[in-house]
Structure 1
Amino acid sequence: MLTQYIHQFFNNFDQKKTMDQLQSVASSKDGVIGIATALILISGVAAYKSSTVERGCPQVPCGTFSFGSTSEYRENPVAFVKKWEEKLGPVFGAQLFGQYATIVSGPQVREIFSNENFSFMAGIQRDFDTYLLANGGSIHDLPPHVVSGGIKKNLSPKLPFYTSRVIEHLKIGLYEQCGVVPDEGKEFDHVYPFVQHMVAKASASVFVGPELAKDLNLVDSFKNMVLEVGSDMGPKPYLEHFPHLMRLRMWYIGKTSTNVKRHRDQLFAALVPQIDSRLKAMKEKDSNWDRPNDFLQDILETDDCPPHMDIYSYCVDWMTQIIFAALHTTSENGTIVLYRLLDNPKVLEELYEEQNAVLEEAGYDDTVGPEVFTREILNKFVKMDSVIRESCRLRNDYIGLPHTNVGKKTIVLSGGAMIRPGENAFVNFYSNHRDEKLQKSGMNANNFEPYRFVDQGKNSTKIGDDFMFFGMFKHACPGRWFAIQEIKTILAMLIRSYKMSAIDSVVFPTSDYTRIPTGRFKIVPRK
């Protein structure tokens, strides 16, 4: 009864009245104690009841009024995954993150991705709902399938056209980050800001056009919105036991955060004049107007804006979803790949030699710069593509990609595990990405082998149960081709222009809170 009340409270509140009520309760000692006690009791009872239900698969032991296995998992994710998979098998249940979760590895992960009654969006929004967190409108006004469909229709097919624009703006971003590098070289503290700026600059040129990509405030939002708004959430491990409280916190951040307000204001300030200008030209059929070729123009021409929304808010919500879905993840993964290369300097020079061979075959000598790169040339850098796939395979991903059973019936996997309506199945990345049978490469799956996938028919965008980085089947990430092309271009440009080396030891994280390695590095111009 109490859990139902809290659920109804969150989904049916009056925002102003609820804010006043929250402030009143939060300022009361008795109120805080009461809420905390109720939530702990709810969590404890739910965990206990869950452990007594038949699940069709073995479960990690969970005591009465326990928060389950979350602490054990957070302390050492690798040890947790290895221990319980060895004891319980490839599919097992555990009380994790304030819920009962079915952990799936091996071939059965395909059943998670292929079943229409499993929803990744419903699973991820429990902990990170960008509509709430960034005050980004309603999921009903801009549903995920519209975002995914727009990317499939208006981005991926145009990648050959966008390649030269991306290269141009990556060069601009690179220069803005490092300027003229002297012969003795230049040192940097971290790879991420370096890559982040290049990705933001190039992505802005594609999504809102080259002119708006010059707007410093807009580029700032493309760069920093995810990090700054996400930082408002902060590492709050105690909240993950209480999903309704997590969602309430995200809504509160979206409505009150100065970071959210600043970035939305910057997006509005940049987009509104541009939208007005374009709509006017379209309405008047101005013969002197050159139609902009970018994602924003595609949105304006779809005429999908809900009747109760203004077009400005609709476009800002679109850009917010794109920024959260693509910008940080591309910057993060580009950073991971670069650190793998810095940790393996011999590979860097081998990739440079690969470039020379490909360019020579295309009719260029080894003095040309990255300005001659095309999509076709980039796709021939097969060693570099293998490095990207291998680096992403070895990310510190452990248990993730929650999929909620949004159907009305229990889903039974081929091994017998039962996921009831409203419950989540999680994918065991760590096991599948290191499974010798699935990888089929004849190399130790725990090691970084840069050329593992050369001539194996497995490029960095090819998905499967041995590489679930982008999901699988028809719900796989629709923007993966664009993301990989940006990463490839960044790597190729840096390798072509500079010799790079690590100054300190590269440190790869092993926790489940960050994926980004650390380490200082240096670049020296190639002669």
Structure 2
Amino acid sequence: MFALLSFIFLLIVFIYIKSPRLSENEPPLVPYTIPVIGHTYSYLFDTENFIRKCLKKYGEPFNIVIFGKVTTIVAQKYIPEVLKAHESFDAFEVFKEFVPLHLILDYDPFKVIGFHAKTIREQISGKLSFHFDNMQKDILYCLDKWIGECDKPRNIKDIWDLTNHVIGKSIANACIGEEASQHEDVVHTFAILTQDMNHYFFLPPFLSFIHQKLHEYVISIPFLIGLSPISKHKNILINRMKPIVETRIQQKKSLGNSYKPSNDILEYYMSQSDFDSSNVNYSYLADLLIFLIVASIATTGRTMANLLFDYASRPEYWDELYEEASTINKECNGKLTFNDINKMIKLDSFTRESLRHMGDMFIAPHAVIADHYTFSNGYTIPKGRNVFDFSEDCLFSESKYGSDSKSFKPFQFVPQNISASKVDRTYVVFGGGRHACPGRFYAVLMMKLFLYNIILKYNVKTENDGVAKKVMLGPFTNPPKESLIFERRKEQRIEMN
């Protein structure tokens, strides 16, 4: 009896400690029944209906309690406001709660976010014309390797794994050069490193009911006690980088001003003022690359897989897309250029529409890093508060996309000639404002090149000749798990550049 009373007493104390305490003039808190648990169940298993009911009753912003923590929800009206308030919000403060790289890498990547953004902006998106030919070659190489000629229909499983390897090879080329990206272990590392980590990081944050930091540390334990899947990938990166770095250092010494730098990120790292050629810190270089891999590969691979499923699921649009692609292919004699891909406005519109339908309810959560933040309607939230953007409210805005906003309308952007990489108030798949994803130009170009080559080389359809359904994981999605059926297109063959 004493033990039972003690347990009840401790439970009451815990509930009291964890009871939400709101500051003055906060957004309304949606009522809930179960202490601590709050709205977690509705958030995970009935996300859209739950959020829309709250929006209808309370307006925006409003507060809910998920995993024992008060979280502020914004939608179409206030998402642009949050995205523009650069000094008050930081997306990576939320990211690190679920992917605590600062605890498992030797160097904290979140302390140099500005450097990572600059790297991607200048060395990836800023050099698309330099990367273009290699991107094209890498895509064709992967299609031959993973899909083949398909003279007879071939069933291909795990499309997301395929697209991860396609983007993995291309990003490896852009990061550490064409020589290193020829090694299969390097491509494999770029392709699956994030997936290996996600086996640990996608543990539901139930320990956050006690304290958020407890969840961060618990999911980091396997990495800290030597069970880290990162170690083998990091060793591969170091082993493949080392001879390249040593060769370049030697060439710089012997050639002096005649040295011709490479157009890859490794060269950029070596050009930094803190790079010590006499004592190269390979662990640091590998950690920089690992962060770029985690931040880019899985998300781009996922959107590429979704794009392919969207195409394969909708045969009514195949002829128009093929006609546009084959016309451009004939005009350039099979030697596609950077300018040629930009002429395909239907392909671009299809890509933008696929991204609009990616399926995630929340895309770019932010945390308040200022002492507080006051919305334009007067509501105030404190430092440390997570703000989740109900992005679907923007992406399916009826005022922007019509009463049938949830319909897949692949060519609706053709008359507007709006690039798939251009962000606006209702197209927030890449965030928005000054901190919109700096790699979106590369990602969109990669997606279009990938689908362009698929269209010219194969006929693709779903197993059941219907629209493939994405896999819902709470408020987020993964690409469909079903296979796609590929068969070589007879009308035309594409040449490798």
Q: TM-score of the superposition, structure 2-length normalised?
A: 0.89
Contact 2:325 2:344 in 1 (8 A): yes
Of 474-483 and 378-387, the range deviating more from structure 2: 378-387
Cα separation, 2, equivalents of 1:213 and 1:82? 46
Cα separation, 2, equivalents of 1:483 and 1:46? 45
1:57-456 superposed matches below 5 A: 57-63=27-33, 65-115=35-85, 116-133=87-104, 135=105, 137-139=107-109, 143-182=112-151, 184-241=152-209, 242-255=211-224, 256-285=226-255, 291-305=261-275, 310-359=280-329, 363-364=331-332, 369=334, 372-408=335-371, 410-437=372-399, 440-442=400-402, 444-456=404-416
Q: CA deviation at 1:66?
A: 2.3
Contact 2:470 2:479 in 1 (8 A): yes
Q: Per the alignment, do residues 401 and 306 of structure 1 end up closer, same or farther by CA in structure 2, a change over 3 Å counting? A: farther
Q: 1:476 aligns with which of 426, 436, 442?
A: 436
Q: Per the alignment, do residues 103 and 251 of structure 1 end up closer, same or farther by CA in structure 2, a change over 3 Å counting? A: same
Cα separation, 1, equivalents of 2:381 and 2:133? 47
Contact 2:20 2:70 in 1 (8 A): no
Q: CA deviation at 1:63?
A: 4.5
Cα separation, 1, equivalents of 2:106 and 2:47? 32
Query: Quick one: which amino acid aligns to residue 116 of structure 2?
Result: V
Contact 2:304 2:447 in 1 (8 A): yes
Q: CA deviation at 1:388?
A: 1.4
Contact 1:342 1:500 in 2 (8 A): yes
Cα separation, 1, equivalents of 2:14 and 2:293? 34
Query: Quick one: which amino acid aligns to residue 411 of structure 1?
Result: Y
Q: Give the unaligned 5+ runs of structure 1.
A: 1-29
Cα separation, 2, equivalents of 1:225 and 1:41? 43
Are 1:48 and 2:51 matched, yes or no?
Answer: no
Q: Per the alignment, do residues 350 and 190 of structure 1 end up closer, same or farther by CA in structure 2, a change over 3 Å counting? A: farther
Of 319-328 and 87-96, the range deviating more from structure 2: 87-96
Cα separation, 2, equivalents of 1:396 and 1:416? 31
Contact 1:59 1:94 in 2 (8 A): yes
Q: Per the alignment, do residues 41 and 473 of structure 1 end up closer, same or farther by CA in structure 2, a change over 3 Å counting? A: farther
Of 159-168 and 84-93, the range deviating more from structure 2: 84-93
Q: CA deviation at 1:290?
A: 5.1
Q: CA deviation at 1:453?
A: 1.5
Query: Quick one: which amino acid aligns to residue 444 of structure 1?
Result: D
Cα separation, 1, equivalents of 2:67 and 2:315? 39
Q: What does residue 5 of structure 1 align with?
A: none
SS in 2 for 1:510: strand
Q: Per the alignment, do residues 43 and 405 of structure 1 end up closer, same or farther by CA in structure 2, a change over 3 Å counting? A: farther
Of 252-261 and 157-166, the range deviating more from structure 2: 252-261
Q: Per the alignment, do residues 291 and 139 of structure 1 end up closer, same or farther by CA in structure 2, a change over 3 Å counting? A: closer
SS in 1 for 2:78: helix
Q: What does residue 17 of structure 1 align with?
A: none
SS in 2 for 1:279: helix
Percent pairwise identity:
23
Contact 1:103 1:399 in 2 (8 A): no
**Superposition RMSD on alpha carbons, in Å?**
2.6
Q: Per the alignment, do residues 458 and 486 of structure 1 end up closer, same or farther by CA in structure 2, a change over 3 Å counting? A: same
Cα separation, 1, equivalents of 2:275 and 2:216? 26
Cα separation, 1, equivalents of 2:185 and 2:345? 37
Q: Per the alignment, do residues 42 and 502 of structure 1 end up closer, same or farther by CA in structure 2, a change over 3 Å counting? A: farther
Q: Give the unaligned 5+ runs of structure 2.
A: 491-497
Contact 2:360 2:477 in 1 (8 A): no
Cα separation, 1, equivalents of 2:479 and 2:440? 19
SS in 1 for 2:460: strand
Query: Quick one: which amino acid aligns to residue 160 of structure 1?
Result: S
SS in 2 for 1:106: coil
Q: TM-score of the superposition, structure 1-length normalised?
A: 0.85
Contact 1:232 1:257 in 2 (8 A): no
Contact 1:386 1:453 in 2 (8 A): yes
